[in-house]
Amino acid sequence: MDEAGKRLQAIIDTMIDGVITIDTDGVIESVNPAAAKLFGFMQEEVVGQKINMLMPNPHKHKHDSYIENYLKTREPKIIGIGREVEGMRKDGSVFPIRLAVSEVRLKDKTIFTGIIHDLSTVKEAEASLKKLNDKLESLVNERTIELEEVINKLLKVNEQLEHEVSERKHTQEILLQREEQLQESLEKEMELGELKSRFVSMASHEFRTPLSTILSSAALLKRYTQAEHQTRRDKHIDRIQSSVANLTGILNDFLSLSKLEEGKVEVLMEELEIGELCAEVTDEVQGLLKDGQQIFHEDRTEGKKIRVDRRILKNILFNLLSNAIKYSGEQKPIHCQAELNEAGLIIMIKDQGIGIPEAEQKHLFSRFFRASNSLNIQGTGLGLDIVRQYLTLLDGSIEFESGEHLGSTFTVTIPQQHEKDSSNRRQ
């Protein structure tokens, strides 16, 4: 072997990759130490043997045909390309290799050189990398599932919390409502308490005059025993009667007010003729009329029926008419006029009495209010408040026009639903 040949041999002998040469029959001609070691053979054990001894099935049996095919067709499958294949060690174990085969044409024959690179470590690393990757993936999956569970739990907790919050809000609202109701009834209670105490002081004041009149008239009556005293007796009997009427009026006012305050006034709507009702009230107030006073009653409702609570409307009219009588002098006429129009039932009560001072008019419907020009006339300051409350129950309203010494006109409006009622009836 020349120098170059020796150098080449040394290179081949010390190569890390295995180098095997075979002839066209697949018989091994040479094996370098790395290849022998790779396959677990001694070099001399493989030289002269068929190359397929180093291959696992199915290549083991087909290898001869591989070379034949190649030589016939020249179509490279592995020769000149290099591929990843499997090798088989002496002990039968199979391992991955990268095989690059090249054809070497010598003067007298053709040989094939195979360079074998052991891929075991690379494959192992790949496998462990894959394993690691799989593990990581499954871990990620596990964590994803865990995370989903946690999220679901959180969502559930959130839902529960939302539910609790809304329930709490509801309870809070109920509590607030209760508190408001309590506050309201407390205020009402206080108002009633105040009303009662004001009434007591008003009553003790207002009761005193008629009671002392009754007392003195009764004492005088005792004295007038003679027949010729009849006129005087009559005068005192009249005084007693009017004082009793006064007291009854005060008591009635208070009774109405306390019923209204307690919400005990029931509204019972019925169809009635206003002319009849006005005549009834006019009759009832006759006893209050002063000398020469007269009530002129004008009914413009043409006998049409109206829907109203009879008792409540009577009370309203009685209050307004008795005020008109009370606050106007002898001989003064009082007009009571009723009509039906778009707004409903309108009743106007007009007097030519003392009137109400303009500056005080804004207080007119306040409880216990009494105008400065009426203080010497018996009264409680409750009547108009009662009228206002009654009208609220009927969805009605009251207005007035007045001036001191110019008389007063009170106008009551009670809405009517004739159209609606008749259409209902038609249906």
Q: For the CB of residue 406, give the shortest distance to ligand ADP in the complex, in Å.
A: 10
Determine if 380 is a binding residue for ligand ADP (CB under 6 A).
yes
Give the up-direction half-sphere exposure of residue 252: CA atoms within 13 A in the CB hemisphere: 13
Query: CB–CB of 79/99 below 8 Å?
Result: no
Determine if 210 is a binding residue for ligand ADP (CB under 6 A).
no
Give one DSSP letter per residue of 19-41, joined into a string.
EEEEETTSBEEEE-HHHHHHHT-
- Closest to ligand ADP by CB, 259 vs 370, is 370
Q: For the CB of residue 381, give the shortest distance to ligand ADP in the complex, in Å.
A: 5
Which of 20, 38, 340, 382 binds ligand ADP (CB under 6 A)? It is 382
Which of 383, 390, 396, 412 binds ligand ADP (CB under 6 A)? It is 383
Q: Burial level of 74, CB count in 10 A (0-12/13-18/19+)? A: exposed
Q: What is the distance between the alpha carbons of residues 302 and 322, in angstroms, rounded to a whole number?
A: 26
Determine if 285 is a binding residue for ligand ADP (CB under 6 A).
no
Q: What is the distance between the alpha carbons of residues 51 and 114, in angstroms, rounded to a whole number?
A: 10
Q: For the CB of residue 251, give the shortest distance to ligand ADP in the complex, in Å.
A: 12
Which of 246, 315, 374, 389 binds ligand ADP (CB under 6 A)? It is 374
Closest CA to 327 of 370, 369, 286: 370
Residues 295-324 that bind ligand ADP (CB under 6 A): 323-324
Q: For the CB of residue 426, give the shortest distance to ligand ADP in the complex, in Å.
A: 42
- Closest to ligand ADP by CB, 224 vs 369, is 369
Which of 353, 388, 391, 412 binds ligand ADP (CB under 6 A)? It is 353
Determine if 408 is a binding residue for ligand ADP (CB under 6 A).
yes
Closest CA to 384 of 416, 410, 347, 358: 410
Q: Residue for token digits 């360079």?
A: 115
Which of 47, 95, 370, 393 binds ligand ADP (CB under 6 A)? It is 370
- Closest to ligand ADP by CB, 297 vs 305, is 297
Which of 18, 210, 355, 396 binds ligand ADP (CB under 6 A)? It is 355
Output the six-digit token pair for 14: 């010390």
Determine if 277 is a binding residue for ligand ADP (CB under 6 A).
no
Q: Burial level of 37, CB count in 10 A (0-12/13-18/19+)? A: middle
Closest CA to 339 of 349, 354, 330, 352: 349
Residues at the site binding ligand ADP, with contacts judged by CB under 6 A: 323-324, 327, 351, 353-356, 364, 369-371, 374, 379-385, 408
